[in-house]
Structure 1
């Protein structure tokens, strides 16, 4: 056995970071590490975890009052410290800011080596902190063996924060691509379709995709959006207001996304912000011609415009409409983008990405 690893994350309920944790944990377990996943809060897992991996839930929240928050904070800290003392992991790896802070504090108390990983734009995490908390976070991150980021853009944004300018342990490791091995021969939708995939939230920009689709005035190609989230009703109202009828369908979460990627005419990522979009690399991995907004961060590090996909100026809905129409109407371009997109299976292969993580762990 190469050693005992703890992955720490808030929950395993959906999301890109949660997918990366479940995928990496499984692969590192196959590489002969003893892997535990520590969830700070209980929630049903959206991902299949190998039975050899032990999943530990620290608390199950039942209230959000100030009293309950203080109680659960104390309980979380106590249980995490106790686990570190009794299990003695060789390395702890945490994902997302809140888990990073819990991990850093408890690992420093128990003198346990740790790695933290930021997964999204600092504007919604570290830049929201006051001076004291920023300084405390810098201390925690500076004492980590590495601060792993999925894109160079996040690394540059982190360095722009005054308190973080002197971090010297930043490491960029891309997200691994999911390896789809089989596809259904049955059609998932009765008509040709454009596909969007992700959490239904403002930052994912599906309102922009619906507006762009309305501008195309396509009659033979539908728009399907897979995912769930707080913007569901707002998006439904937008579809009704634009009188798009059954042409635009919000189809919820799907366990067979690979079939949707495989059968879509084109995949569109309309996000206002990202960290490193898993849905984009998944679509590209099966050869789905892909279009993405050049938002912060990730798409510009994945798509080589005109070669393996189309990159659109951020927030340019008119250009998105034109790009979708261009791919739908140009079979030569569509075939070229599809063929080159599949190369992501090599650059972002799970074994390659896991080997980079293993090197950091072993170097500790």
Structure 2
């Protein structure tokens, strides 16, 4: 299977990310690829790792997986680095996209290096706290990232807090190409009338990872001593075993459920008593935006970054002190026992469907990509989802 040098009828855009498995960044970049592919571009999704996509990719979007990182020996890591570099440069030189967009720091660095070598315009996007990524790097790695970000057509952030964090750093404060584009409300199918759970329930949604704070949520739920409201956490991830053990040790195995990923999130959002975001860190939490768009009254930690830009406390949701088990427990108990408050918060939360409407947000991305696209690039036809590289 090879790349054929027949012209496309549309200019090509590359979308690069470390993985296509479940997560907020993955959902956004797949949505962007689908959108541009329907609007006068040929989208090419490139995943640095070989993972099964968690979200629907439209048929006409081309997908490439660069390597399969199953082993962690030093020699294997060297091989994967070499393989990723070779395949990405080959794709860029063969296809000549008019612009490349990457999400998440590791993909941003690969994109910056290879697009600089091939003279292709590129845009990078930081999707979470820079304190946990580029700012925390060692000296050489950090300054490599800084130089690549300086050369980018734009550095896109989803929250003002992420922008402030970058500009407060003594090195990254020189960046003058930062642009903020928030996340759009996800468009779901219509909700079903079929009950997803036989009792009232509190909802958590996200990757089962330490940073998502579901251990805090479970502890806070236990402190509420609620007997008639269960807790359901939708998602999968590396912390599942630890969370299962925590639930067992707290004697909550009948009331705290971890059903894994679900394709009918709209039914959970529309039926939940409340949605809770217990993250230790965020970028701009998709699940919070989704829950609010369904009028689901929401509680969130005031963490870095995003929740305070989405929720006005006691108006369209509740913000609580970051990582405070006691405060979170009290907020959950308050909402669970006050249907009037739940209704008021949920009604005002729905306004986010307008402020973060997909037409508005995707239009901002389209304007940015068109502004920086190389008009002289000549796209080529891709005939396979895997190049012979």
TM-score where L is the length of structure 1:
0.97
- How far did 1:2 drift? 6.4
Instruction: List aligned pairs for 1:60-209, cutoff 5 A.
Output: 60-209=68-217
| 1:20-99 aligned within 5 A | 20-99=28-107
Q: Which secondary structure state, in structure 1, belongs to the residue aligned with residue 367 of structure 2?
A: helix
Work out which of the residue numbers 7, 11, 31 in structure 2 matches 1:3: 11
Structure 2: stretches of 5+ with no match in the other structure: 1-8, 373-389
Distance (whole Å) between structure 2 residues aligned to residue 196 and residue 207 of structure 1: 11
What pairs up with 1:287-306 in 2 under 5 angstroms? 287-306=295-314
SS at match of 1:246: coil
Partner of 1:254: 262
Corresponding position: 1:223 with 2:231: yes
1:16-67 CA-to-partner distances (Å, cap 9, x unmatched) read 1101001111112222211111111211111110001111112223432111
Residue 250 of structure 2 corresponds to which residue in structure 1? 242
| Moved >3 Å (runs of 4+) | none
1:314 aligns to what SS in structure 2?
Answer: coil
Q: Given the two structures, how large is their TM-score scaled by the length of structure 2?
A: 0.91
In structure 2, C-alpha distance between the alignment counterparts of 1:103 and 1:63, rounded to whole Å: 23
How far apart in 2 are the matches of 1:61 and 1:325?
44
Show the counterpart of 2:384. Answer: none
Aligned length: 364
1:334 aligns with 2:342: yes
Deviates most, 286-295 or 180-189: 180-189
d(CA) in 1 for partners of 2:71, 2:339: 55
Q: Which has the higher contact order (CA 8 A, sep 6+)?
A: 2
Matched residue of 2:185: which SS? coil
Is the 2:189–2:266 contact (alpha carbons within 8 Å) kept by the matching residues of 1?
A: no
Q: CA RMSD in A?
A: 1.3
**Structure-1 separation of matches of 2:319 and 2:186:** 22
Gaps of 5+ in 1: none
**Deviating more after overlay: 325-334 vs 13-22:** 325-334
Report what 1:318 is aligned to.
326
